[in-house]
A and B are shown apart, each in its own frame.
Chain A
């Protein structure tokens, strides 16, 4: 939690395993760099919509082409073919989702079929962990896929946060518990908000914390109390600066997801710079009675949930459009697993494997990726849909196409590279500019001085050194370096022990590299 203090006390036997436990740290140590900082666009926001319980995707994105065999496998929960809302001739949405169907037709929706991972785990908790951490199914990783990204950019968090460089929450979960997605190596990066009316003031007077379990928890509590105070005020300020404009939200309390998205829209319109928002809709574990009855299979628990999802997203997009914020936001709808092809006799479906992902927003490259699953005429109880796209391909695509993070960093964050899917429209201009990383510093850790090298592009460039909390420590005069390989010697003996970021700023593409001073 306190990187600076850790560095001061590197001989402490307590701190070392605490920082470097687990194999992910090893991957991290070699992999990611913070190059993406330079090309980071603060206006780009991501809303994660988590469907808790395991969505029966086959009942949401229905393969019309397979209808006859679907009747045999799950006739007791299947809507009549005539009611399916066609997206293409082959594929359609469940009739509970007319709003999302319209958004699809307006070009705001991307569907990715058959999302999952190899060697699936059918436990809610484990599968959710895998989704959150982006690990392989046989490896336990405690950090979340976005938490690792934040660990790179904000390694000292929560110590010293909020601060003038980062006055707003790094991520925000609407609800009452921090999302595991935002769990970093040492801290969870998500602030939590369950309503905009909470108030808080505290004056904890603690100064020193023993290196014991008691000391660890006391320090955590004190830090959270101080941080709570800081973030609540900026969040409330953002909320009061703008109002929701859409009239399409249901009345409060009717649709939990719409209520949460309404808060997100309000905050974005009010200028909150937080880029990650996590919202939830529970109830998708439909082992029984997912439809109302055999005689009416278009209503019931699952159609109601799908309707809530559809209404909430449509209201949110409408709001963003009226606020002129559409281009800043994309949403990603996911779940821990899909359900079996064959329904059970309780008018429900049991835990399965793959599911359709939905990504939405005005910047989306719309359409359907992947093909309809082939449903055989005889389906066994344990049969599952085939895996088409690893969920980490979507994460990698979001990292790259939405947040402009380069492949090398993505490989470090996800442990390996995954094929991209085309999520964002007209993004090629941004991606094409990402050069191969050229910036190097040696020796590292540096002693009194160090050498750096990089590939100059003939235009103006400036070397700057930052602390890991984002504070500028040193800047050198901008210069026109001649095109090609460039090597420079820097005097760094005056820097205090710690981790720093060396950045070379260029008009087209900046680069950065971390280094340590002993």
Chain B
């Protein structure tokens, strides 16, 4: 099973993964997979592939000081424990987002990095608002530590982390002057989601009154700006009894001081609707934007049951979705438009671009990737607002919103640069080595095998006949296939002949650049 065009079954696929199934699974769960990574799970059953994806990720290093102007921290040492400094903070923020991109580029076969970005898009904070790099590092760490853990644990930590206290005004939420900002988004965006407005101030799943009561529960949290940590201050906590609406069966929450907010979270998460809301977001992240009644009934509901019955542990629900016949339906393979980070990091990973031994150069290329993604309309650390990127919630276009007359040229510029010229940072050139990619193909001397082999690694679907002809036209314009075989063997016979290597390499580069421009490469 699993090869049917369109399946609405949540049952796991049987049999062993073939190459295109393995590629589909890894391209969705990693930031693109290279040939070796795909080969490593080909022939495995789906459950052992899940074991690999759920493994504890490899240890990561700390973000380091990358600018000598930050005199508080030695160049190359980590800044995470250094006191806040308004002047040096800019360098540390650059280090932080570069480090984050670097973690994605260097990921192993684990779901962790895709899930960290998922949670960032869900529990949004914005660097531009939070500013303090130490708070933001702490925020990313909270996301990482629970990315594959438990959602309730994660939201509890997020609720009181300094970055969120700043971002949604939790620190100015006091008994004497409640600030509803976090309370509102907790309901609307972070947990249960908004239903239809059924009467004034009543959004079905919660009410304006619930927001006001939740804001009271959430009072009392402040930030110690020396230690970069949050702490509980009983004197500003609202100690009254908080009364919730019928949506929560008129629950009342009495004063529990510093643990009270966890009771609020328990209350919201005891609603099945919260599990459904979270599952729909996971579905849109890993699967496809459109959820019709069929998918709601056959996919979303059983997944929500799994999430709920496992008390919001995230691994069982992910395994169920990613193992399902539905996930492997051919109709959905290649149906997800890659976001800019998936696109940019994916080129690095799929084409196996080598990093430098100089860590500072690597931070520079990761920083360049951050800016490239920003130009493609996705700024890591700075979603456009608290709802996250509209590509994951905005009907009816969803991820099609990534694609427009301004972002397409930006994607092209990035892929062209890596395939044709490379980016040079700190004296090191980051580029797609066309011979390395060609070496992954069974017979690179055969022009047809060569272009189809590149597509097998880079694209979610095989080339059509027009594309094969088009790529061969780039490789050997107006010439017979034998010309390519001749030139290729000439290079193989004398690999140190740099002129011949350059000749063949240029042709390969032009073909790779064209494959990366195909609309299919924008899809996963």
List CB contacts (< 8 Å) of A245-272 with chain B.
none
Q: Is there an interface contact between A346 and B177, defined as CB atoms closer than 8 Å?
A: yes
Contact with A along B401-417 (1 / 0, CB 8 A): 10111111110110000
CA distance A175 to B523 in the complex (A): 24
CA distance A149 to B358 in the complex (A): 56
For the complex formed, measure the closest distance between the CB of A286 and the CB atoms of chain B, giving whole angstroms.
11
With contact pairs A124-B387, A287-B179, A346-B179 given, residues A224 and B520 touching in the complex (Cβ less than 8 Å):
no
For the complex formed, measure the closest distance between the CB of A272 and the CB atoms of chain B, giving whole angstroms.
14
Contact with B along A124-146 (1 / 0, CB 8 A): 11100000000001100010000
Report if A460 contacts B (CB, 8 A).
no
| A-side contacts of B408, CB under 8 Å | 200, 202, 224-225, 228
| A-side contacts of B333, CB under 8 Å | 214
Residue from A142, A188, A208, A213 whose CB has the most chain B CB atoms within 10 Å: A213
Q: Is there an interface contact between B169 and A193, defined as CB atoms closer than 8 Å?
A: no
Binds B, one of A177-185, A392-400, A420-428, A498-506: A177-185
With contact pairs A218-B520, A225-B519, A288-B169 given, residues A178 and B179 touching in the complex (Cβ less than 8 Å):
no
Q: Is there an interface contact between B179 and A192, defined as CB atoms closer than 8 Å?
A: no
Q: Is there an interface contact between A221 and B401, defined as CB atoms closer than 8 Å?
A: no
| B-side contacts of A180, CB under 8 Å | 394
List CB contacts (< 8 Å) of A129-179 with chain B.
137-138, 142, 175-178
Binds A, one of B261-269, B303-311, B460-468, B490-498: B460-468
Q: Is there an interface contact between B332 and A213, defined as CB atoms closer than 8 Å?
A: yes
Contact with B along A186-200 (1 / 0, CB 8 A): 001001111100111
For the complex formed, measure the closest distance between the CB of B451 and the CB atoms of chain A, giving whole angstroms.
12
Report if A206 contacts B (CB, 8 A).
yes
Q: Is there an interface contact between B409 and A125, defined as CB atoms closer than 8 Å?
A: no
Q: Is there an interface contact between B470 and A205, defined as CB atoms closer than 8 Å?
A: yes
Report if A432 contacts B (CB, 8 A).
no
CA distance A175 to B397 in the complex (A): 17
For the complex formed, measure the closest distance between the CB of B485 and the CB atoms of chain A, giving whole angstroms.
24
| B-side contacts of A142, CB under 8 Å | 395-396
Report if B288 contacts A (CB, 8 A).
yes
For the complex formed, measure the closest distance between the CB of A12 and the CB atoms of chain B, giving whole angstroms.
15
CA distance A210 to B333 in the complex (A): 12
Report if B27 contacts A (CB, 8 A).
no
Which B-chain residue is minimally distant from A178 (CB atoms)? B404
Q: Is there an interface contact between A346 and B172, defined as CB atoms closer than 8 Å?
A: yes
Report if B390 contacts A (CB, 8 A).
yes
List CB contacts (< 8 Å) of A74-127 with chain B.
119, 121-126
Q: Is there an interface contact between B181 and A287, defined as CB atoms closer than 8 Å?
A: yes
Report if B335 contacts A (CB, 8 A).
yes
Report if B435 contacts A (CB, 8 A).
no
For the complex formed, measure the closest distance between the CB of A445 and the CB atoms of chain B, giving whole angstroms.
27
Q: Is there an interface contact between A178 and B177, defined as CB atoms closer than 8 Å?
A: no
Binds A, one of B7-15, B88-96, B193-201, B218-226: B193-201
| B-side contacts of A205, CB under 8 Å | 464, 466-467, 469-470, 518
Q: Is there an interface contact between B387 and A199, defined as CB atoms closer than 8 Å?
A: no
Q: A193 contacts which of B336, B395, B406, B523 (Cβ < 8 Å)? A: B406
CA distance A177 to B379 in the complex (A): 13
| A-side contacts of B43, CB under 8 Å | none
Q: Is there an interface contact between A214 and B523, defined as CB atoms closer than 8 Å?
A: yes
| A-side contacts of B410, CB under 8 Å | 198
Report if B188 contacts A (CB, 8 A).
yes
CA distance A456 to B523 in the complex (A): 56
For the complex formed, measure the closest distance between the CB of B129 and the CB atoms of chain A, giving whole angstroms.
10
Report if A383 contacts B (CB, 8 A).
no
Q: Is there an interface contact between B522 and A221, defined as CB atoms closer than 8 Å?
A: yes
Q: B176 contacts which of A52, A218, A345 (Cβ < 8 Å)? A: A345
CA distance A52 to B331 in the complex (A): 38
CA distance A350 to B180 in the complex (A): 8
CA distance A208 to B518 in the complex (A): 14
Q: B405 contacts which of A119, A192, A288 (Cβ < 8 Å)? A: A192
Which B-chain residue is minimally distant from A17 (CB atoms)? B292
| B-side contacts of A344, CB under 8 Å | 177, 179
Which B-chain residue is minimally distant from A186 (CB atoms)? B396
CA distance A191 to B409 in the complex (A): 13
CA distance A94 to B409 in the complex (A): 41
Which A-chain residue is minimally distant from B287 (CB atoms)? A213
CA distance A175 to B460 in the complex (A): 30
| B-side contacts of A191, CB under 8 Å | 404-405
Q: A199 contacts which of B377, B396, B409, B466 (Cβ < 8 Å)? A: B409
Q: Is there an interface contact between B377 and A346, defined as CB atoms closer than 8 Å?
A: no
CA distance A312 to B519 in the complex (A): 38
Q: Is there an interface contact between A207 and B464, defined as CB atoms closer than 8 Å?
A: yes
Q: B406 contacts which of A137, A176, A207 (Cβ < 8 Å)? A: A176
List CB contacts (< 8 Å) of A205-223 with chain B.
205-208, 210, 212-214, 216-218, 220-222
Taking residues whose C-beta sits less than 8 angstroms from the other chain, chain B's interface range is 35 or more
Report if A204 contacts B (CB, 8 A).
yes
With contact pairs A228-B405, A345-B172 given, residues A122 and B519 touching in the complex (Cβ less than 8 Å):
no
Q: Is there an interface contact between A213 and B290, defined as CB atoms closer than 8 Å?
A: yes
| B-side contacts of A199, CB under 8 Å | 409, 413
Report if B260 contacts A (CB, 8 A).
no
Q: Is there an interface contact between A202 and B517, defined as CB atoms closer than 8 Å?
A: yes
Report if B246 contacts A (CB, 8 A).
no
Report if B107 contacts A (CB, 8 A).
no
| A-side contacts of B194, CB under 8 Å | 123, 126
CA distance A99 to B206 in the complex (A): 44
Q: Is there an interface contact between A212 and B6, defined as CB atoms closer than 8 Å?
A: yes
For the complex formed, measure the closest distance between the CB of A461 and the CB atoms of chain B, giving whole angstroms.
41
| B-side contacts of A204, CB under 8 Å | 517-519
Q: Is there an interface contact between B519 and A193, defined as CB atoms closer than 8 Å?
A: no
List CB contacts (< 8 Å) of B115-171 with chain A.
169
| A-side contacts of B334, CB under 8 Å | 214, 217-218
Report if B337 contacts A (CB, 8 A).
yes
For the complex formed, measure the closest distance between the CB of B208 and the CB atoms of chain A, giving whole angstroms.
7
| A-side contacts of B395, CB under 8 Å | 142
Q: Is there an interface contact between B335 and A212, defined as CB atoms closer than 8 Å?
A: yes
Q: Is there an interface contact between B169 and A213, defined as CB atoms closer than 8 Å?
A: no
CA distance A220 to B522 in the complex (A): 11
List CB contacts (< 8 Å) of B363-391 with chain A.
375, 377, 385-387, 390
Report if B400 contacts A (CB, 8 A).
yes
| B-side contacts of A222, CB under 8 Å | 519
Report if A232 contacts B (CB, 8 A).
yes
Which B-chain residue is minimally distant from A208 (CB atoms)? B464
Q: Is there an interface contact between A218 and B523, defined as CB atoms closer than 8 Å?
A: yes
Q: Is there an interface contact between A124 and B519, defined as CB atoms closer than 8 Å?
A: no
List CB contacts (< 8 Å) of A296-341 with chain B.
none
Report if A203 contacts B (CB, 8 A).
yes
Report if A360 contacts B (CB, 8 A).
no
| B-side contacts of A218, CB under 8 Å | 334, 519-520, 523
Q: Is there an interface contact between A119 and B5, defined as CB atoms closer than 8 Å?
A: no
Q: Is there an interface contact between B401 and A178, defined as CB atoms closer than 8 Å?
A: yes
| B-side contacts of A66, CB under 8 Å | none
List CB contacts (< 8 Å) of B99-114 with chain A.
none
| A-side contacts of B336, CB under 8 Å | 217
Report if B514 contacts A (CB, 8 A).
yes
Which A-chain residue is minimally distant from B173 (CB atoms)? A346
CA distance A232 to B403 in the complex (A): 14
For the complex formed, measure the closest distance between the CB of B263 and the CB atoms of chain A, giving whole angstroms.
25
Q: Is there an interface contact between B464 and A206, defined as CB atoms closer than 8 Å?
A: yes
List 7 A-B pairs, Cβ < 8 Å.
A177-B390, A192-B406, A192-B407, A203-B517, A206-B466, A232-B405, A287-B169
Smallest CB-CB A-B distances: 8 pairs: A345-B177, A221-B519, A213-B335, A212-B331, A200-B409, A192-B404, A205-B466, A228-B405
Binding site for B on A (CB under 8 A): 52, 119, 121-126, 137-138, 142, 175-178, 180, 183, 188, 191-195, 198-208, 210, 212-214, 216-218, 220-222, 224-225, 227-228, 231-232, 287-288, 344-346, 350
Using A200-B408, A214-B335, A224-B403 as known contacts, list a sample of 14 further A-B pairs with CB atoms less than 8 Å apart, ordered by residue number in A: A119-B197, A177-B401, A202-B412, A204-B518, A206-B464, A214-B460, A217-B337, A218-B520, A221-B523, A224-B405, A228-B404, A345-B177, A346-B179, A350-B180
